[in-house]
Every structure is written in structure tokens, then in C-alpha cells.
Structure 1
Amino acid sequence: MTPQYYNENAEELAKQYLSKSFEEVHQSWSQFLPAIIENPNARILDLGAGAGRDAKHIAELAEKQHKTDNNIQVYAVEPATELANLGAEVTKDLKVKWLNDALPSLSVITKQEVSFDLILLSAVWMHIPQSDRARAIRKLANLLKPGGKLVISLRHGQTEEDFKQRKMHIVCTDELKQLATDVGLFTKLETQKEADKLGRSHVSWQTLVLQMPDDGTGAFPFIRHVAINDGKAATHKLALLRVLLRIADGHPGAVLRRESSPFGDRVILPAGLVALYWCHQYKDLIDTHQLFQSPNKSPNMGFMKPNGWHKLTHRSASDYRIGNLFTGEDAIALHKTISAAVSNIKTMPCRYITFPNQEANSSAKVFDVASKTVKAKDSIFLDLQTLEQWGEFSLPESTWLAFNRYACWIEPVLVSEWVKTMASYSGNSQYSSPEKQFHLYQALNWLEPKRTTTEVRNRFEQLKQQLPKSEQIQCVWSAKSLQQKYDIDHSMPFARWPNNDLWNLLPTDSQINNQKSDRLPTEHKLKTAKARIQQWWQTAWLNDDISSASAEEINNKHEVNEAPIGYLISNKLFTPPKTLEQTSSVTAESKRFFAEANIALPGLNSDNTSIDDLFEALVMQRGRLKEMQQLREW
């Protein structure tokens, strides 16, 4: 925006703006205002305040609400001096501070070193060129308090005169929502297009209310600070944050314990699990896409050792998964790779990620590694107990809970920053232009499990042949006997929580499964089905007297690319031997079954073998998904 037009036409424009009341213009989002005004210490920014109509209304509300106890500060920012002078006159008897400033730099307001409960951009966004919008939204996000709201009205229907004289630009709701997501904001409200209050038939308006998440602890702003504002000589910091987010989101059972410290409660994870996920996310970025992860001319990172990482180039990221078995030279190389990753995590991101205003060598560490030396062996089964051998990783409980609760908002921020960081490295110069960065986003896709029930369906068919007719398998939800038509259901809906673990896949009547769809079973329905679910678990995976399908049988029944990732060994399906560091009575299926469950479900010990405890954890996870994702229930 250039202030010239608005200075030259200040009086006429002021008369136009003041002809409509705040309630008329902002009725679509004003329901959020009372809760903000209730706080006697709230801080509000009216950006592009024009003739002061909105600042005046908000300041009057504050005085009416709090009278002599009113500490609410209203900042009115207007780049057109003549218009601002008229606005200052309108608000002269109220607590309104006028400043001359403009997006995208907002240098004056930034120097105030304050943050806001509400930022209002009324009829401003269309003045910001597309090239400046990412910077503008980042500035605005940095000015918001946790839980703060950013209200932006979008004007649709600019004329040629608007483009030329008033320096307006086309706006797009989807573009703005994506920019907001990239800086950690989520959309609280999106209105439909509304008619212009001044009666202009070619103009319509739309309002977005964006919000900064608030976990009540300050952990979310800290995570944003590390991801967006903290110095990044390499991608280590972003990598560690994303690893921890993925563990918190998908593996609540990974918590070994919680313990107190002088600086607050902390969550303890297996260091080997953090290292395994570290290798998982870097694997395809480096080996497949050959993307540099630091400004150095060498593509090699500190954890990429000749006797470890470089001996596993034939492996894919999906091999680094709980429930998988590595043997021979691959197992030895994986031991050494995990050891190198633990060391690298300890000496790089853990050392340099600090709380704001804290030195790197301070005893109040954000993330800490108590590592142990592990001797390489020619067999490694990836479960929690194995990964505990490398020691312990600790982080503040508040940060863990923020990752756990706000994963869907935090991850897009991490990915966006990772893309920008990689694009800035000379080794990735071919992707430096924005239009070529789609490849970087693709490379950062976390390989989610593909929805598959093939392995469990094969097991069902095998059991149907082996079990006597008097012991027909029942639908876990309805108790119907399953003969011909049946489905394998993800008890916790895959569409909302991608998980193909053995415990989560249950035989179901097809009609019942269609009714359930991607809804979450109610707690009552889940508990009613307890006996049948546990009977299926016991029969399919935990009974040693019923043999499971051999690798050859499974291979003959479905494609390798549909196979369970946990059994992909050198592109062939592999069944581990029956004895893997446990007694001979424990089958490989049983070991895998509990390895997957004990890390995916909350509150279980890594050595748990109780299906009663497992079921209680499943009920807890159902409640977590209901609370965090507000899923529809069935």
C-alpha cells in the first residue's frame, strides 16, 4: 500500500468509514471479542486503523467493562498520516496509542516488544502484494500471544481503478490459510462471502479468524521459536523436533517414565527410539533424493559412517520400524548407525537448542541424552526393550504434551521451515526458487503406513481352515459368526490415526464395518466387545498351538508391496525364529504383537505381555483420540 491516495482523500474516506458502525462491519466474528475484553490486561492491535472507528469501539468496550480498573491497551496503526490524524481525533479521550507503521516490515510496532491478544486487519490484506504476504503473516504470528487471535477481512472484487490508484491486489482465502498454517496458526473461523456494507454490488467480503494455539505452558511458543526464529547451521534442530513430534503423536507408549527436576517435570524416552526415527526421516532425504542437509559442500552428515549408514543404502526408510528384525551384516550396520545417530543428536541439536535467553552450556537443558555404549550384534529386533539399550532421552513434559496435542498444527511449521532451510543451501541450489520447492515438500513426506489388512485377512483364512466348526470366529462388534463375507476393521480408524498394528486389526461383519466406517467406537461399545477382541488376539497371534502362515504361504497370497512392513527383509517376507531373547514358548507373532502395542498405546511397560493391560490402554487411546481430534463416535 502507498499512503498517497489515502492522504489525498482522507476526509472523504473517513466519512465513508465512519458511516457504518463496528457492529455492522464486524458482526461475523464479534462473538470472540467479549472473552478478550474480559481480560483487564489485554493488548489489542488495530492494523490499518483508518479513521479510528474500530479502535474507538474496542476502547469504549474496555472502559465500560473495567471502568477505573481498565488496563487494556489498544494500539492503532495507520500508514496514511492524514487519515491517522483524523483517527486520533476520533479516539482522543480514550486509551488508544496511534503509531505510523505498515506491513510487511512493521518495524515500529515490533520495536515496542509487546504481543497481542487480538490483531485486527480490516480491509488491509488486499493492499499487500503476493510477494510480501509470507513475510507479513510471519510478522503477525510473531506478534500474537499464545491463544491470540488474528482477524483478517478479505475484499473480493477489485476494479482496475482499485488496482492502479489504491494499489490493491487479488486475494485468496486458501492462500492465506496455507500461509497461516506455515507459521503455526490454525483457522478458527472462515465466513462465507458477504455483501458489501456500502452497497457496492461488485464487492464482497470474507473474514478469517486465525489463532495461535495455547497449551497453557508456553511450550508451543517455544517450539515455534526453535523452528522459525532459532539459528540453523544444519537441519538437525528441525529433525529432532519432528522426530519427537512423530513419537508423541503415534507412540504414547514410548514414555519410559516421568521424573521431576529443578526445572520442571520431564518425560524419558528410549534414546535408541529417537535415533531410529532420526534415521527414518533422513534416510530418503539423503540416499534417495540426495538433498544436502547443511551448507557444507560434502553431503555427509556426522551420523553417516562407512561401517553403518553407508552399508544400509539398499534399505528404505520403512524398514526402520518397530516390529522389524534385522539379521547378519545389516543388523551389525544398524547397531552402528543407531549408535552414531545417538551421538550426533547428543552433540548437535541437544547441545544447541536452549530456552530463550539461556546459554548453551546451562544446566537447564531442553533436551538431554544419557547415552550408553551398545555392542553390535548380528541380530536386532526393533522393540522398546532393544532401543532402551542406547540409554535415555529426556525432554520437558510441557514440550512433550504440546507435541502430543498439537501435532497437526506444529508439523506443517516444521516442514515449511525445513524446506526453506534446504532451499538456502548451495548444494540444493536447483530448488532455490519457490516454484521448484514442491520437490522438497515431497521429499519430506513422512512415509505413513499404507492402509492394508492383507496379512490379517490371510491369518483369518488360515484359522478358518484350522479351527473346528464349533469354534467359528465371531465379529468382534456384533458377535455374528463370520462365514463368507467379512471385513478386517481398524478398531481405531485408520483415516484418523494411521496404524496397521496387529492389535488394531479385528475381524468384523461387512455390514457392521460399513456402519462403523471411519468413526471411533464409543467407550461402551469397545468395553462390550472386550471378550471377543481379546479372544481374537489370543487365537490369531498369541496361541502357540496354532501354527501361523509361513513366509512362503503369505508370499503366494499377496504382493510384496502390500506386505506388512515389519516383515520386509531384503524385499522378501521373513518370519523371525520363535526364540528371540525370550523363552521358547513365545512366538515371533506374539513378540511382534506386544512390541507394536506397547509403544503405540499409552501406559504400557515395554515388557508388557498382558492382554488385559493392553485392552485398558486401548480404551485410554480411544479417549485420547476423541479428545484431541474430536472424532465422530459410533
Structure 2
Amino acid sequence: MAPQFYNDNANELAQQYLSKSFEEVHQSWSEFLPGIIKNPHARILDLGAGSGRDAKYIAQLAIQTHRDKNNTQVFAVEPADMLAELGARQTSGLKVKWLTDSLPALSIITKQEVSFDLILLSAVWMHIPISDRARSIRKLANLLKPGGKLVISLRHGQTDEERQTRKMHNVCADELKSLAAGVGLFTLLETAKEADKLGRNHVSWQTVVLQMPDDGTGAFPFIRHVALNDGKSATHKLALLRVLLRIADGHAGAVLRREGDRVILPVGLIALYWCHQYKDLIDTHKIFQTPNKSPNMGFMKANGWHKLTHRTASDYCIGNLFTGDDAIALHKTITSAVSNIKTMPCRFITQPNSHQPVFEVASKTVKAKDSIFLDLQTLAQWGEFSLPEATWLAFNRYACWIEPVLVSEWVKTMASYAGNSHYKSPEKQYHLHQALNWLEPKRTTTEVRNRFDQLKEVLPAQEQIRCVWSQKSLKQKYDIDHSMPFARWPNNDLWNLLPTDSKINNQKSDRLPTEQKLKQAKASIQHWWQIAWLDDTNILTNQSAFLKSVKPAALLKNEQRQRFFAEANIALPGLSSDNSSVDDLFEALMMQRGRLKEMQQLADW
């Protein structure tokens, strides 16, 4: 596409597009639309949204269908800024989010970490060069939900001038269907060529509707095969799969970028969580992870792992600070873990019937220092880890189904090792299940409760802390609520823990706040974030006794602010690693609410 042409002629083109209604232009496939809109939480992408005609129609249809229970989201993507500006005016007041992006990369949309029930490409495909079409269809397929539909209108016929000024190319339905079949989409509808609605004799149109099968891309059965059937001389493969699942499910912001059909993550984060999950298994529970008689594994070095036996698994989490000898030992531990991941599971997990590795590591040498703050930027120093986008999406979408498979197989594998023979009987394997808990009980709401109690003592009377959901004053009995329910999405980050009236918290239980309720609580939530973690005060925070003994309160406060944003920026979708905006954070929280609703079908509150 040539955005310059569309910007230069934006007003004329917008009038032309708006002269025809949605029903006139899309009559051939509109029979599918009511079934999609029937879902009050549908997510729709209008790619090449132009003047906003189609986005407006779909958003209004959703309102008519669901009225005040409408949670449909429409994303309108338009690469020509002037057209997008006119389109945004058309959809003003409707639930339409406008973004500037384009195929084949779609980097902005992809960063949102969301998937769609419907993707509409109206008069777009002819702008994509043949060389970019395979990559484009892969990207579109990866953005579809299982069962989602992709509607592409094909323009046949261009003048030489249109080819030059508007960057148009020939299109072919058979070529499109072949590309779609290669990424697992099937053809639901292919219309005959129809006359141009604007009366241009040299132009005709054809519509192809493609659909993603409900069983997805084949990544899910592949993951299941590695977990259940692949040879396991140690628990390395299961450990890597579980780490990737936990990052995909809980850290949407961890993606550094996408290249082609691969997702790039910081390998330091993989290594940190590798150590996190092995820490209690090995140091606390003394459970063997290989058939060997030695409990030592390749990444457990004398100058690294074994100098940190006084640390717990919860120390190996985003937002924590290590100093002195502990920092140097952690540097060496992460380096050893990166090496072990690269040479063991990444080397031996290969594509079916192939020696081609599924996962790749490009590691870097990192010099040990006497201070390490665990955030995305720090962990990216060790290099990069890449995996197929389809595998990443399977972890992301099916985490609640995949994790029990991984944990169950890990328990069976550990019980089969000679060093763990006392756990062989099924009735004793509950201990192995317990040892595989990802989060320790102590990393729950205690720290936030302590912070609440500190603030209650020092804040002036007119600044009483109130329930974020009901605005009731919290004087005596209160709870700390996980805004995104912990039972469904285990997350003890500071941004997710909010002071709440006990009665209100009981009513909310494990339900997900509606979009409307979350929006209504925005000011209260942001106020709590500000006074508890971000304001420049000298109130001591609930840090370790060691830190308090060597650091002034102002420095502790800065570290706490760092931790707050480090946790949020990696957990929530669409945030940059250096984000420090609570408004952007709240928008990402809204997006995460939508993702959880879609993936887990949680009950609304």
C-alpha cells in the first residue's frame, strides 16, 4: 500500500467509501456476522479500516445486540494517518480502538497479545506484494481464535496508474486458498466475481472467507507429545515447557519482538524461572531430577547455585534486587542455567521427523556485578530465546489445560528415579505435586497488608484509604483483593493487589470484574498505586531487614517503584519494558481482563 496516496486523497476517498453502506459492500458474507456478534465478548479486527464505515457498523450492531451488556471490542487498523483520523471521527463514542499498523509485520497489533473472532480485510489484499503474502497469512492465522473467521475481499482489475500510485498487485483466489491451507485454515466461502459497487467497469470483486479449526495449529498436540512421549533422561524438557507456559500465561509483556513466525524472549528470563522452579525441588525437598545418584544438575555450580542455598524460590522473581556476593552468585547461576538450557532441552526437542530444533538460544556473555535488579532489561543481557509463534500462542491460550499435563508427567518422571524410590507409591506422590507449586504461600498479600497498615498510621484523616470497588472507608476489617482472580491467574504482583472491603471481596470471590466495573474503579485503583508504591515519601516499606539496615527510606522507595513497574511491564500486554505511566498500565490491565475472559470464560462480577 502507498499511504502517501491515501493521505493526499483522504477526504475524497472517505466520501467514496461512505457512499456505499456496509450491507451493500459485504452482503456476500454478512450471514456469518450475527453468529460472531452473538458473543458479547467478541473481538473483531478491521484491517485497512479506511474511513471507519465497517468498524462503525459492527460496533453499532454489537450495541444493538447486547445493549448495556456489550463487551465487544473492535480494533480498527489503518496505515494512512489522514484516513485514520477521519475514521476515528466516524466511530467517536463507540468501542472502537484505532491503531496505525500494516501487514506483513502487524507489530503493533501483535504486541497487544490478543486474538480475534473475526478479521476483516476489505480491499487490502491487492496492496500486499506476492513476496509478502505467505508471511501475511501466517500472521493473520496466528491472530485468529480457534473457530475464528478471516474475511478477505479480492479486487480484480487495476489500471497502470493505480498499480503505480496505489501500489496494487494482481490477486488470485486459488493462491490465497493455497496459502491459507498451509497455515491450517480452511475455506468456508468463495464467491463468484461481482461487479464493482462504484460502477468502475474494469474492477470486479470476490470474497473468500477462511476459518481456523477449533483444534488450532497443531502446536497443542506437539506440546502434549513432548510432555508425554518424548524420551526424558532428566526433567529438563518438562522444566523448559513449564517455564515457557508460565511466561506465556503470566508475562505477556516479555516478548522482545517477533521475527517471521517466531517469538523472541529474553533467555535470562527463561533461566531465572528455570532456577525458580528447581530451587525448592532440589534445595528444600531434596528430590532427584535425574536417574543418577548425584542430586547435582549441570547448572548447579559451586560459585553460583551453591552459594545461594539460603535464598528461596520467591527470591527468583521479577522486581527483586540482589546485592553483594549474592548478586555475583546469581549472575553466575543464570549464566550456567542459560548454558544448560541451550545444550540440553533446546538441543533435543526437535520438529517431528526432523533434527531441526524447535527452540533456539542466542546467548551472550554477561560480566558478574555486585548488584542485579530483576527486570526485563536486565534479563535481556544474556541474549535471546526463540520459539515458533504457534507454540507460544498454544501456551498462551491453553495454559490451564497444558499445565496439569506437564505437572502430572513431571511427578511420574520423578517417582521413577532411583533416588526418589520412597515416593514410588501413588499415595506418596502428593508430596511431589506439592513440591511443584509455582508460588510460595508467603508471597501472597502479607507485604501489601503491611503497607496498608503503615499508611493508615501516617496518612491525614482526610486521606483515609477506601475500598477500590465500593469507596467505603476501610477503618477496621479489610481484605487485600487480587483484581485479576488469583485462583484463575496466579499473580501476586503489587499492581494486582488492592485494598477492599471484606464484604465486597467475598461477593467478588474468584470472579472477574466487568470492563465497566474496572473502568469505574480506575481513579481509586490508580490512587492506591500512587500512595502505596509510587509517591515520593519517606515511609519505610516492608523490605528485608538487611536492606533496611543499609539503605535509607528514600532509596528503598525508589527500588519499590522500580519493582512495581518491572512486575507490571512484564505481566501485562502491550507495555514497553521502561514504561512508567499508570495510565498505560491501567489500559494494559483492561486488555488483560479481556484476555482472561476470552481464554478462561470466567464468570463476571
Same fold (TM over 0.5): yes
Q: Which residue of 1 aligns with 2:220?
A: 220
Change (3 A) 1:526 1:290: same
Q: Which residue of 2 aligns with 1:209?
A: none
Q: Which residue of 2 aligns with 1:294?
A: 290
Q: Which residue of 2 aligns with 1:330?
A: 326
Q: Residues of 2 paired with 1:505 and 1:375: CA distance? A: 35
Given that residues 285 and 443 in structure 1 are in contact (C-alpha distance below 8 angstroms), is that contact kept between their aligned partners in structure 2? yes
Change (3 A) 1:513 1:289: closer
Q: Which residue of 2 aligns with 1:423?
A: 415
Greater mean alpha carbon deviation, residues 284-293 or residues 602-611: 284-293
Match of 1:529 among 514, 518, 521: 521
Query: How much does 1:286 deviate?
Result: 1.8
Q: Which residue of 2 aligns with 1:614?
A: 585
Letter of the 1:311 partner, please give it. K
Q: Residues of 2 paired with 1:451 and 1:319: CA distance? A: 10
Query: How much does 1:511 deviate?
Result: 3.5
Q: Are 2:559 and 1:588 equivalent residues in the alignment?
A: yes
Change (3 A) 1:429 1:452: closer
Q: Deviations over 1:501-541 (max 9, x none)?
A: 21112223334333323221100111122122112211221
Q: Are 2:266 and 1:270 equivalent residues in the alignment?
A: yes
Tell me the secondary structure at the aligned position of residue 456 of structure 1.
helix
Tell me the secondary structure at the aligned position of residue 587 of structure 1.
helix
Given that residues 449 and 498 in structure 1 are in contact (C-alpha distance below 8 angstroms), is that contact kept between their aligned partners in structure 2? no
Q: Residues of 2 paired with 1:409 and 1:315: CA distance? A: 31
Q: Residues of 1 paired with 2:463 and 2:263: CA distance? A: 45
Q: Which residue of 2 aligns with 1:280?
A: 276
Given that residues 539 and 553 in structure 2 are in contact (C-alpha distance below 8 angstroms), is that contact kept between their aligned partners in structure 1? no
Q: Deviations over 1:50-88 (max 9, x none)?
A: xxxxxxxxxxxxxxxxxxxxxxxxxxxxxxxxxxxxxxx
Q: Residues of 2 paired with 1:575 and 1:493: CA distance? A: 36
Tell me the secondary structure at the aligned position of residue 356 of structure 1.
coil
Query: How much does 1:458 deviate?
Result: 3.0
Given that residues 273 and 384 in structure 1 are in contact (C-alpha distance below 8 angstroms), is that contact kept between their aligned partners in structure 2? yes
Match of 2:381 among 383, 389, 406: 389
Tell me the secondary structure at the aligned position of residue 421 of structure 2.
helix
Q: Residues of 2 paired with 1:435 and 1:455: CA distance? A: 35
Given that residues 374 and 389 in structure 1 are in contact (C-alpha distance below 8 angstroms), is that contact kept between their aligned partners in structure 2? yes
Given that residues 451 and 498 in structure 1 are in contact (C-alpha distance below 8 angstroms), is that contact kept between their aligned partners in structure 2? no
Tell me the secondary structure at the aligned position of residue 518 of structure 2.
helix
Letter of the 1:500 partner, please give it. N
TM-score by length of 1: 0.58
Tell me the secondary structure at the aligned position of residue 361 of structure 2.
strand
Query: Residues 600-611 of structure 1: matches in 2 within 5 Å?
Result: 600-611=571-582
Change (3 A) 1:448 1:465: closer
Change (3 A) 1:357 1:578: farther
Match of 2:358 among 338, 362, 366: 366
Given that residues 271 and 338 in structure 2 are in contact (C-alpha distance below 8 angstroms), is that contact kept between their aligned partners in structure 1? yes
Change (3 A) 1:343 1:516: same
Q: Residues of 1 paired with 2:282 and 2:447: CA distance? A: 31
Given that residues 491 and 505 in structure 1 are in contact (C-alpha distance below 8 angstroms), is that contact kept between their aligned partners in structure 2? yes
Q: Which residue of 2 aligns with 1:549?
A: 540
Tell me the secondary structure at the aligned position of residue 599 of structure 2.
helix
Given that residues 576 and 588 in structure 1 are in contact (C-alpha distance below 8 angstroms), is that contact kept between their aligned partners in structure 2? no
Given that residues 459 and 548 in structure 1 are in contact (C-alpha distance below 8 angstroms), is that contact kept between their aligned partners in structure 2? no
Change (3 A) 1:574 1:628: farther
Q: Deviations over 1:263-322 (max 9, x none)?
A: xx1111111110011111111222223232223333321111111111112222222111
Query: How much does 1:332 deviate?
Result: 0.8
Q: Residues of 2 paired with 1:299 and 1:230: CA distance? A: 23
Match of 1:342 among 335, 338, 359: 338
Q: Residues of 2 paired with 1:578 and 1:254: CA distance? A: 30
Q: Residues of 1 paired with 2:353 and 2:553: CA distance? A: 54
Match of 1:540 among 490, 508, 532: 532
Query: How much does 1:609 deviate?
Result: 0.6
Letter of the 1:489 partner, please give it. D
Given that residues 540 and 557 in structure 2 are in contact (C-alpha distance below 8 angstroms), is that contact kept between their aligned partners in structure 1? no
Q: Deviations over 1:454-511 (max 9, x none)?
A: 3323323333343333333333223344444443322112232222221112223334
Q: Which residue of 2 aligns with 1:472?
A: 464
Q: Residues of 1 paired with 2:320 and 2:474: CA distance? A: 31
Change (3 A) 1:380 1:576: farther
Q: Which residue of 2 aligns with 1:245?
A: 245
Which ranges of structure 2 fall in alignment gaps of 5 or more residues?
A: 1-145, 148-212
Q: Residues of 2 paired with 1:576 and 1:389: CA distance? A: 27
Q: Are 2:489 and 1:493 equivalent residues in the alignment?
A: no
Query: Residues 55-70 of structure 1: matches in 2 within 5 Å?
Result: none
Q: Residues of 2 paired with 1:530 and 1:506: CA distance? A: 12
Given that residues 575 and 588 in structure 1 are in contact (C-alpha distance below 8 angstroms), is that contact kept between their aligned partners in structure 2? no
Q: Residues of 2 paired with 1:444 and 1:225: CA distance? A: 21
Given that residues 263 and 386 in structure 2 are in contact (C-alpha distance below 8 angstroms), is that contact kept between their aligned partners in structure 1? yes
Query: How much does 1:399 deviate?
Result: 0.9
Letter of the 2:402 partner, please give it. I
Query: Residues 194-213 of structure 1: matches in 2 within 5 Å?
Result: none
RMSD of aligned alpha carbons: 2.7
Q: Residues of 1 paired with 2:447 and 2:403: CA distance? A: 31
Query: How much does 1:429 deviate?
Result: 3.4
Given that residues 519 and 633 in structure 1 are in contact (C-alpha distance below 8 angstroms), is that contact kept between their aligned partners in structure 2? yes
Given that residues 249 and 403 in structure 1 are in contact (C-alpha distance below 8 angstroms), is that contact kept between their aligned partners in structure 2? yes
Match of 2:570 among 590, 599, 613: 599
Q: Residues of 1 paired with 2:390 and 2:346: CA distance? A: 17
Tell me the secondary structure at the aligned position of residue 510 of structure 2.
coil
Q: Residues of 1 paired with 2:259 and 2:551: CA distance? A: 36
Q: Which residue of 2 aligns with 1:18?
A: none
Q: Residues of 2 paired with 1:393 and 1:533: CA distance? A: 35
Change (3 A) 1:508 1:574: farther
Which ranges of structure 1 fall in alignment gaps of 5 or more residues?
A: 1-145, 148-212, 555-566
Greater mean alpha carbon deviation, residues 434-443 or residues 596-605: 434-443
Q: Are 2:232 and 1:232 equivalent residues in the alignment?
A: yes
Change (3 A) 1:601 1:573: farther
Tell me the secondary structure at the aligned position of residue 313 of structure 1.
coil
Q: Residues of 2 paired with 1:342 and 1:230: CA distance? A: 22
Letter of the 1:547 partner, please give it. N
Letter of the 2:492 partner, please give it. N
Letter of the 1:549 partner, please give it. L
Q: Residues of 1 paired with 2:471 and 2:463: CA distance? A: 12
Query: How much does 1:376 deviate?
Result: 0.8
Q: Residues of 2 paired with 1:575 and 1:494: CA distance? A: 34
Q: Are 2:600 and 1:629 equivalent residues in the alignment?
A: yes
Change (3 A) 1:367 1:569: farther
Given that residues 468 and 525 in structure 2 are in contact (C-alpha distance below 8 angstroms), is that contact kept between their aligned partners in structure 1? yes
Change (3 A) 1:575 1:612: farther
Q: Are 2:370 and 1:378 equivalent residues in the alignment?
A: yes
